[in-house]
Amino acid sequence: MTDLKGTNAPSLADTKHAPRVAVIVPAYGVAHLVSEALASLQRQVMADWECVVVDDGAPDDVAGAVAPFLSDPRIRLLETDNAGVSTARNRAIAQTSAPLVALLDGDDLLRPDYLAHTCAALDADPEARLVTVNARIFGAVPKERPCFSGKQGTGDGMRGSLADVLDRSFGVYIGSTFRRADFDAVGGYDPAMTHAEDFDLWVRLMLLGGHALYIDEVLADYRVRSKSASASGLKMLKGNIHTFEKALALLPDGAPEADIARAMIADNRRQLRFALAIDRIIDGDTSALEQLRDAAPEDLGLAWQAYFLLWSIVPALAPPMLAFRQRRNARGAGAPESERSQSGRRASRPKNEAA
């Protein structure tokens, strides 16, 4: 079932002023927040955009939340059966005509200059495969902070190579902008990816050649919502591993990026063992402390060294301490080690995870 609403009024594609960019808004489970996202879109200083909000079988009233915005001919609602966030985005993008695509999750916000800056950056640089920005992290976090605080990548801080994206030294914010032609060339989102689908797309775009661009301005707002850190973290790690394996299969033998992909596979597998050991210990299996220690990174820190020393003396303290840590992370106090890359960055995060 596919139902596109809001098409009675003429869209920008039907006028002399065709849209420059299509903004895709997945809204699964965020009916109470999507109006804020759409209001931020309507405040853009660049007006020639089109927007498709996609409701892929959400359990809440997305249609009711979007209805007040359908009087704007640039905004349409696509209602489909539930097939996951990757398929939902593919279906939404297929309904658009603009040469550029920007992503806006239904619980996030764009600053007024976002589209003007990202579209101009792509127009000025034909070798750019995507453009990303800095963002304010807010919501279920103890303190608001920027998404990126250090230099991006190994080059000039504005351009990231495939190697930089693979090793996560160049972080890509979820709400990024890219070319529709490049999206089509790589086959869109992989429907088999339920987690790390954004990272997988960034890597495949970068495999086309060229570079990623970073605009060092806070041009968006990324909302953290309280949720369980454990299950989504494990799925994200598995998604990362699959992304690196796919990249490795496409890279030529001897390419330096292939070595990076292998190293990242090994590190994410270690993080997965670490996360699984935590779950076992929380469930009461303190014999997994040895697995946890073996899977710990070399630079885990003095606090963890103290924990391991304490648990070697009193193993029964490990389950409640790790359970507390997991609850704290679920409230947005910080990503667990199992969700971080070697550089400490995260390129994508599991929103719409029920979709």
Tell whether 205 and 243 lie within a shared domain. no
307, 281 contact by CB (below 8 A): no
Tell whether 235 and 181 lie within a shared domain. no
Tell whether 214 and 274 lie within a shared domain. no
CA distances from 56 to 62, 65, 190 (A): 10, 14, 16
Tell whether 49 and 153 lie within a shared domain. yes
* Amino acid symbol at 269: R
CA atoms in the 13 A half-sphere facing the CB of 33: 18
Identify whether 43 is part of a domain: yes
Domain final position from 197, 224, 251? 224
Walk along the chain (355 residues) and give the pLDDT tens digit of each residue.
Answer: 566 776 544 444 444 578 999 999 999 888 899 999 999 999 999 999 999 999 988 888 999 999 999 999 999 999 988 888 899 999 999 999 999 999 999 999 999 999 999 999 999 999 999 999 999 999 988 899 999 999 999 999 999 999 999 999 999 998 899 999 999 999 999 999 988 999 999 999 999 999 999 999 999 999 988 764 445 788 899 999 999 999 999 999 889 999 999 999 999 999 999 999 999 999 999 999 999 999 998 888 899 999 999 999 999 999 999 999 887 765 444 443 333 333 334 434 444 433 3
Give pLDDT, residue 342: 33
Identify whether 30 is part of a domain: yes
271, 278 contact by CB (below 8 A): no
Q: What is the CA radius of gyration of the chain?
A: 21
Tell whether 141 and 183 lie within a shared domain. yes
Identify whether 35 is part of a domain: yes
Identify whether 353 is part of a domain: no
Tell whether 121 and 22 lie within a shared domain. yes
Q: How far is CA 345 from the centre of its chain?
A: 12
Give pLDDT, residue 16: 53
Identify whether 190 is part of a domain: yes
Identify whether 266 is part of a domain: yes
Tell whether 206 and 279 lie within a shared domain. no
| Dihedral sign computed on CA atoms, order 130, 346, 200, 140 | negative
38, 66 contact by CB (below 8 A): yes
> Structural domain of residue 287, as residue ranges?
229-339
Identify whether 351 is part of a domain: no
Tell whether 34 and 181 lie within a shared domain. yes
Q: Compute the CA torsion angle 168, 169, 173, 176 (nearest 10 deg).
A: -90
Tell whether 191 and 240 lie within a shared domain. no
